[in-house]
Structure 1
Amino acid sequence: MRDRLTDALYGLGWSAVRRLPEPVAVGLGRRIADTTWKRRGASVLRLESNLARVVPDATPERLAQLSKAGMRSYMRYWMESFRLPSWGRDRIGSGVEVKDIHLVVNGLASGRGVILALPHLANWDLAGAWVTTHLGVPFATVAERLKPETLYDRFVAYREGLGMEVVPHSGGSAFGTLARRLRSGGLICLVADRDLSSSGVEVKFFGETARMPAGPALLAQQTGALLLPATLWYEDSMMRGRVYPPVEVPGSGSRAEKTSDMTQALADVFATGIAEHPEDWHMLQRLWLADLDPQREQREQE
């Protein structure tokens, strides 16, 4: 029953919210965000705990302000996503501006293939729609399998409607499919600040140990594709972004050592973007190992 209700609510969002006038949708999203924030549920408290790592000198009052702004940013993501299928090319283009996008364009022109890796900042789906409509470049991405299956199907249909090829994270050969796209000179985009497997790479992230996916670094090593970090943020009515110079494959070391170094380099860029715009980081889940395994921190200190 809970799964069916969840699926129905998302379906209502895509069918009803997209028909609302934009100012009404914006106001609705803000009211939902503020109501959720005031209830101080588990997701809000987790967001606040995560932000405490990002802004370690923040007072309780400042953390509360950040978490409230964070919930508004998170709900803005959803309201935009529900409405995005009805937006035309001009509407998408007028709301997005990305600095140093030439790094992507030049990388694709070289025929090497490009991996864009980014954290959960602002609206990665809107950024993807901008890539397909304004660069005219289709790309592949990975989606977490959601429950119920009908909800996963909704997300796949939504993203495919925006011009993306969606590869399931589990239940198939995601790595092989992405590698083939890169070897043919294509583009893949991966949200890469939270590991969804048991094979992630440990990195230092805001001074503590977290685990991030090895996939971007491994794909770059195996295919020769460029690995480009990117960050996004909201600025009034615009969403802005920046593409950073490529993370190079180290010239020496084992495969595991290279993967560790490259994933740490990604984490460092992500940390820079998140620290600049902490309110736009939509991390409402446990991320640091001390939160995933509280006993681990105690063992390391003994």
Structure 2
Amino acid sequence: MTRVSSHSAPQFAAARAVWQNLGLPGLIDVHTHFMPPNVLRKVRNHFDALGGLWPLTYRGNEDECLALLRGFGVRHFTALSYPHRPDMAAWLNGWAGGFADRTPDCLRSATFYPEPDAHDYVSAALQAGARVFKAHLQVGGYDPRDPLLSDVWGTLADSGTPVVVHCGSGPEPGRFTGPGPFAEVLGEHPRLTAVIAHAGAPEYTAFLDLAERYDRVHLDTTMVFTDFAEARAPFPSDALPRLADLHDRVLLGTDFPNIPYHYPEQLHALAGLGLSPDWLRAVLHGNAARLFGL
């Protein structure tokens, strides 16, 4: 059994107090990252190169990060990874499949990139039991409307498999970020089960529009409402009633372990919104439990 630092005990207590006070069995976090070690190392190097703008709080190895999540009370989570070039996604999917096989509380995760064999390896991942996909338009730098992805989106829509899509322009805009390109994908595939990462930051209201227009579009809370995010891309206070109305389609996400603060801060930020206990119960557990049949 992997041991974690005694310094983690206060964090465990702070996280558990939130969901225990709501009478929940724990948390479901739909936006966490487990990757091949060489890929994770490059991700950490990227954040380190920012010169302290995004100091990583958690730097443990795979087993240590798993122990932390479980210590917080996370019952199910994801292993989201994302390619930035061709001939990478199928390899990432193979690694993620092996990770899920040895980590039963992880939702089997997969990804894709616009390339000729994308539909084939996405179909193979689905047949192998993939339950969630990740698309990162900023890091990948690709157009979600690329014809090479048309059958991918269609297959995922038909299967009802959720796709966590980073399509907002935060933290830095990309060529195909912002609501416009992905809105066109939804127009072509209106039954796609999409989870908009970071609630679409910083274009929150535009992505709320999409969630209200398409009943299979969800939002995840990744980093939203934390002090770190509010200083850079504050959520408009007048949009909170709209978020409350989407009580059944907002999901807990955190970006763990690649976050510049302690994990409980995300939970406290959501609890501090002053929305109803039923809303918070749904966000922290119920909505994801229903979406993934947990």
Is the TM value for this pair above 0.5?
no
Greater share of strand residues, 1 or 2? 1
Relative contact order, higher structure (CA 8 A, sep 6+): 1
Please, what TM-score do these two structures have when normalized by structure 2? Answer: 0.34
Please, what TM-score do these two structures have when normalized by structure 1? Answer: 0.33
Greater share of helix residues, 1 or 2? 1
